[in-house]
Structure 1
Amino acid sequence: MTEDVPGGANRRTLMTGSLAALALGATTTGGVGLYRTRHEVPATYGLTVAMRSEHGPWRGTRQLVDREHLEQVLPGSRVLAGPEQEPLLEAQEEWLSGLTLPGSAGALSDLARAAALDLWVLSAGLPLAVAGWSPMWRHAWPRDTAHVAVALHRLGDAKGATRQLASLAERVGRAPRIQARYALDGGTPDHRPPQDDGFGWVLWAAGSTVDSWRGTAEAGRIEALVRHCAATALTRLDGDGLPRVSPDYWELEERQLTLGTAAPLLAGLEQAATLAGGELAERCAAAATRMDAQVHATFGRRGWPRRIGGGASDTAIAWLLPPYRTAPPHETELRAALDEAARQMSRPNGGYAPGGDWREDGVAWTPETAVLAGAWATADATRERAVETLAWLEDHRTEAGSLPEKVRDDGSPAGPAPLAWTAAVALTASLDVAR
């Protein structure tokens, strides 16, 4: 997910890349100072978001909370003190009481409750969960929507999970491409290019939440979304069975196929093979089998890099594993590659960057850190590592208890807080650890 900057560019485009001298300096005495002098320190966009009303235009129902106004947030909540606090608190607690949260005490339980509150404040009363509440993040990314839907399903909120997918179906419609993000009022907020990984994320989420939406009034709309995304995803494959080049979750113009596009599409086509029905399902199954073999023959042969031509690895290796896929071929090899990717992505503050060749600024990104925890949580051998990583997320929440997008080199939060993607993945990882 990118940050907007003036002129329509994005900060990832401007700042991505590894500087050898900087990387060297970061490992020596004074490295943190070098981070700060050579890179912009990421900004903070509030400590949390809190509800202030159930009525009126949706933009006025909640507000960003900074340190100066933190005392206005009612303890243990995402509700502002004020005339409407009681019904809002009742709505929050009624929703929480219906969830299946992991644990009964300790850090894991605290993290899960905080992440659930973050999801609530970014989705309650809205057709789609927004990524964050800062204006630049107050939109819906299909990847985020998919993870929120799966988290709500896993928590037992079938209606919430169904609402996410049904609302996304309304926005995608019959369009030949999926947009990078959608505005809640309709359309798109800017001219970012479409992202083909979105087809995969939609299909993965629909398959992972089928028990929530099948048989409901929205089932027809979601089934139509599945058929459209499955059929269209097949047209986005080249003759060798691999996806065409497309931007992915880094939201950069790419000249090579990335694992960040291939992995979600593979996971999505595997789900479509069980959902789409008839000939379309058979085509999706065949395409997934072929893509899996080709991904292994290309990315795998080169050590599972981010880009098909080789280089450093990134978070996308986790999307070839559970909870995104069930018993994938070469799982032992993929888990070893996950550990190597984590080694490349590790940051001195204890978290992880999006990729091994990410800029050496010492900043950890919480969604990517949570994704790694989620993959580790699905294997007995690495479950303790998942617990440690989730504990790190717990320890690096804001003063208000929300999960921020980033953690600076000094351990302080940065970016918007909360971030829906982080909250959703932290919840599913916590549930897998607790199983």
Structure 2
Amino acid sequence: MTTAVLPERAAARSAGGGAPPARRRGRRVLAWSIAATLWAGAAVWSVHLKANESTEEFVALYLDGVHLQPDGTVADVPAHEPAAYLPGSRVLAEHAGDPGAEALAAGQRAWLAEGTVPGAGTRYEELVTDALLDIHTLTGATFDDGGSGIEAAPGAVVAGWSDRWRYVWPRDASFVAAALARTGHVEDAVAVLGFVAEVQSEHGGFQARYVPDGSGVPDSRGIQLDGNGWVLWSAATVLDQIEDDGERAATFARLRPLVDTTVDHLLELTAEEPHLPPASADYWEVRETDLTLGTVAPMLAGLERAAALYADQGLGARAAEVGERAALVRSAVVTAFEPGGYERYADGGPVTALLGADGRDAATAMLLPPFTTEAPPGAVEAWLLSTEEMARPAGGVAPGAGWKRDGITWTPETTLYALAAAENGHPRRATAWLDWVAEHRTASGAIPEKVLANGAPAAVAPLTWSGANVILAVAALEESGAL
């Protein structure tokens, strides 16, 4: 396995978080002192922030989608050049009649038929089908790199096809595995988690992202601790889809090394009172010096789901150990984050509030089912408030209320909110967000990472995390009878 650059608790702290309590108190004192000095200028900052809210940034659309070439390699669909595909595939219609192309298209149609398409027969059938095809195309993909074929490892699902996204994020892969299992593609889901297991460090941590051939990491971003929580949640979700007890036990045996190593790492990270992990970068992909809800919420979800998973497999002592720690982490999350309404930071203080760097973010959704077993006190209310605080002009939401005010909507967070709404009794909210996503895809049917204030799709397309969220949200709505 690839060894992490920064192992264990001490390394996680040095990677961008977890200052000793005395230092943290010192920072808070300094922050309050600065706040007092700046308070007289609050009106100036307020004007500045309001001006920023009206700023509309332009980001180009990088691709219109992806397609399979007759030789099986994946290639770009250029931006603003809509693709026509052979039915039920990501093979271009212009290759109709080519034996290789027809075989690839038939293979993708057969793959779809092996599972289910949530929302079939509803207005979401095309949206979900396209998301599944994009995920299938970008998993274990082979691509042409200047004349040489580069082949991803089995189960390596890249976040997107643009060069800076052609890597495997454990977070994104976890959601993809859950979506694949939810649609009946359990073996594919296990393969995705198998790749994640292969690149996990011997200490149990995960880097931000990995090269899809499994050879290492592309840069020095370092460890992101939310990956541990997401991997456990995903593994439990995959196993939940297997009804046969024997098959579920056999699949658990395959995943158990990943589950055990990941759980052990979380137990280590949360061993000391108040049973909260050190600070780490999370889905915002920025270095942090204070703990974020986006790091600890997935950890809580992962521990709770792992405890249930061990119990299901008759491992009572292990289930009790993990369940007790999950309860302590849950209590610590409520103590630290509930008084402030589950904002991004537990103790941001007036400086961050003044500069617009605090507030709630999409991690409020991570405190709700299907992630945690039960929403903590006040978490649903915080999530509902965040939907208004994070709203963007074209529809959908930003990563957080404190995110830069550029008018841009992000589909990973918007689709995450659709999933949370579908799972927590808000079907109208869920369908409104899903309808919005369907309307703001590229002309080739790909879900982009971003949508500009004018409604134009932008940046990476397709984005597999957003596609996985859509699949899971529609499946939840279907299961609840809301479709």
Q: Same fold (TM over 0.5)?
A: yes
The residue that corresponds to 2:51 in the other structure is 25
The residue that corresponds to 1:4 in the other structure is none
The residue that corresponds to 1:97 in the other structure is 113
The residue that corresponds to 2:226 in the other structure is 197
The residue that corresponds to 2:300 in the other structure is 266
Return the offset for 1:275: 3.2
Structure 2 distance, partners of 1:119, 1:216, is: 27
Structure 1 distance, partners of 2:476, 2:394, is: 25
Structure 2 distance, partners of 1:63, 1:224, is: 35
SS of structure 2 residue aligned to 1:312? coil
RMSD of the alignment, in Å?
A: 2.1
The residue that corresponds to 1:300 in the other structure is 338
The residue that corresponds to 1:144 in the other structure is 172
Return the offset for 1:51: 1.0
Counterparts of 1:151-190 in structure 2 under 5 Å?
A: 151-185=179-213, 186-190=215-219
> Which amino acid is 1:273 matched to?
A
> Which amino acid is 2:368 matched to?
L
Given that 1:159 and 1:212 are in contact with CA atoms closer than 8 Å, whether structure 2 keeps it comes out as: no
Specify which of 127, 131, 134 is matched with residue 111 of structure 1: 127
The residue that corresponds to 1:206 in the other structure is 235
> Which amino acid is 2:156 matched to?
L
The residue that corresponds to 1:387 in the other structure is 431
Given that 1:266 and 1:288 are in contact with CA atoms closer than 8 Å, whether structure 2 keeps it comes out as: yes
Given that 1:99 and 1:157 are in contact with CA atoms closer than 8 Å, whether structure 2 keeps it comes out as: yes
Counterparts of 1:348-387 in structure 2 under 5 Å?
A: 348-380=393-425, 382-387=426-431
Return the offset for 1:106: 4.1
> Which amino acid is 2:258 matched to?
L
Bigger Cα Rg: 2
The residue that corresponds to 1:70 in the other structure is 82
Given that 2:88 and 2:109 are in contact with CA atoms closer than 8 Å, whether structure 1 keeps it comes out as: no
Structure 1 distance, partners of 2:469, 2:379, is: 20
The residue that corresponds to 1:409 in the other structure is 453
Structure 1 distance, partners of 2:219, 2:81, is: 31
Structure 1 distance, partners of 2:335, 2:80, is: 55
Return the offset for 1:99: 2.3
TM-score, length-normalised on structure 2? 0.78
Structure 2 distance, partners of 1:398, 1:69, is: 10
SS of structure 2 residue aligned to 1:325? coil
Structure 2 distance, partners of 1:76, 1:86, is: 11
Over 3 Å counting, the alpha-carbon distance change for 1:298 and 1:87 in structure 2 is same
> Which amino acid is 1:35 matched to?
E
Which aligned runs of 4 or more in structure 1 are off by greater than 6 angstroms?
none
The residue that corresponds to 1:43 in the other structure is 60
Over 3 Å counting, the alpha-carbon distance change for 1:227 and 1:76 in structure 2 is closer
The residue that corresponds to 1:16 in the other structure is none
The residue that corresponds to 2:467 in the other structure is 423
TM-score, length-normalised on structure 1? 0.87
Given that 1:231 and 1:280 are in contact with CA atoms closer than 8 Å, whether structure 2 keeps it comes out as: no
Instruction: Show CA shifts across 1:381-418 (max 9, x none).
Output: x1111111100000000000010000011111111110
Structure 2 distance, partners of 1:340, 1:423, is: 25
Given that 2:305 and 2:373 are in contact with CA atoms closer than 8 Å, whether structure 1 keeps it comes out as: no
Matched positions, count: 400
Return the offset for 1:68: 6.5
Return the offset for 1:280: 3.8
Over 3 Å counting, the alpha-carbon distance change for 1:289 and 1:217 in structure 2 is closer
Over 3 Å counting, the alpha-carbon distance change for 1:278 and 1:392 in structure 2 is same
Return the offset for 1:428: 0.2
SS of structure 2 residue aligned to 1:177? coil
Structure 2 distance, partners of 1:431, 1:169, is: 27
Structure 1 distance, partners of 2:82, 2:127, is: 19
> Which amino acid is 1:300 matched to?
E
Larger displacement relative to structure 2 (143-152 or 70-79): 70-79
**Identity over aligned pairs, percent:** 38
Structure 1 distance, partners of 2:206, 2:194, is: 15
Structure 2: tracts of 5 or more residues without a match:
1-44, 142-153, 349-357
Over 3 Å counting, the alpha-carbon distance change for 1:104 and 1:73 in structure 2 is closer
Larger displacement relative to structure 2 (61-70 or 273-282): 273-282
Given that 1:114 and 1:401 are in contact with CA atoms closer than 8 Å, whether structure 2 keeps it comes out as: yes
Return the offset for 1:432: 0.8
Given that 1:50 and 1:64 are in contact with CA atoms closer than 8 Å, whether structure 2 keeps it comes out as: yes
Over 3 Å counting, the alpha-carbon distance change for 1:53 and 1:309 in structure 2 is farther
Specify which of 386, 399, 412 is matched with residue 443 of structure 2: 399
